Amino acid sequence: MSRGCGHCGFPGDLENKGQVEYDRRPIDSEPLDDLEVQRFWTLSRCPNCELPTLEAFTWVDGLMDSSDVEFERIFPTAMNNDALPSSVHKQYEAAMKVKLIEPSFYAVGTRRMLEAVCQDQGATGSNLVSQVEAHRPARYPGHAREGELRCPTRPSGRS
Ligand SMILES: [Zn+2]
């Protein structure tokens, strides 16, 4: 079961780095009073962004099997892309799937996602750059316009 990464949106499986039991209590009612409820934390690493994910799950030996386990994400909270238009979300997911496989495929996927954004927003223009430029001032007024981006300069007086 793929639970994905809440940091970068990577949709694949995370690498399990270990788990620890942090609580164990007997079930305090008949006829299950010979069983115990165990609570675990599990730590995983994203193969894409390498950031950690902490989840918790409950286990009752003798009562549950692995298909009964439900993971509760503690950190980070799950990404919610529900607000994305479906066409943009589809291209985003496709780009994230190939990010680790081949950077050039990821670049193409990112471009397709940007094209989907422009199409969704009704951007007009002869190419992607002109479509983004036409939409940027109204949607992102704090961003630099063309020609305003400059490389940082070295402070004077330092060698
Ligand atoms: Zn990640």
CA of 32 to the centre of ligand 1 (A): 40
User: Is 37 a residue whose pLDDT tops 70?
Assistant: yes
pLDDT bin (cut points 50, 70, 90) of residue 102 is confident
Alpha helix (H) residue ranges in 71-157: 86-98, 103-120, 128-139
13 alpha carbon – ligand 1 mean position (Å): 10
Q: What is the pLDDT of residues 1-24, one digit of tens each?
A: 457 888 887 888 999 999 999 999
Distance between CA atoms of 35 and 111, rounded to whole angstroms? 54
Alpha carbon 95 to its chain's center: 12
Summarised one tens digit per residue, pLDDT across range 75-100 is: 997 667 788 899 999 998 888 878 77
- 127: CA distance to ligand 1 center in Å? 31
CA of 77 to the centre of ligand 1 (A): 12
Quick check: pTM over 0.85?
no
